[in-house]
Amino acid sequence: MNVEIEDSWKQHLQEEFDKPYFVALTNFVKAEYTKYTCYPPAKLVFNAFNACPFDKVKVVLIGQDPYHEPGQAQGLCFSVNDGVPFPPSLQNIFKEIESDLGISVPKSGSLLRWANQGVMLLNATLTVRAHQAGSHQRQGWETFTDAAIRTLNAQKEHLVFLLWGSYAIKKGDFIDHQKHLVLTSAHPSPLSAYRGFFGNKHFSKANAWLEQHGEEPIVW
């Protein structure tokens, strides 16, 4: 199956595209986008991959589901389009960055600038029906995104994985802690941010690891 995705990722994931689960997933997603309003826009479904080629990945941030309200989702976890009010979790991410690194809260909630520096902003599920959180879960996306994480884990060295909340931590169970820095904490959601997300200093820790291994730090 020919999937429109960035070339280096296509080479690493081509085997997945030809598997029965991915064919079924593709048929499901096409039907959903035909019948319903879905997010992100179809051209941005693989934005996490297209914005951050395989060879450029330095940090992997794992989210769960795309935003499901109009104008928010842009195919990058936690990120919203320019001009869109910051969702609560994103507000808390920016608060922690300010506390950790002294970087003031930006005007835009778009994290594309992170992706362009090598931060892969990967949701476990890449699509969602409007107003229905989790509506595209358990259709095959999780298998596909697991394959992407496994490929990064096996073929890259000295990555940073940011796993916030029990869902992301469980999804990253198999990551090799000997090769990579795996940082875990509570989720930045207002329901849990005060139980360990605030004060985790993941952003300074990630940059220290990158510099230790000869990589440019991320300008968060």
**Residues labelled catalytic:** 65
91's CB contacts (< 8 A; 6+ apart) are none
Radius of gyration of the chain (CA): 17
**Letter for the amino acid at 8?**
S
Q: How far is residue 84's CA from residue 134's CA, in Å, rounded to a whole number?
A: 21
Pick from 10, 108, 21, 109: nearest CA to 50: 10
Select from 72, 113, 74 the least CA-distant residue to 94. Answer: 113
DSSP state letter for 87: P
Tokens of 58: 């330095």
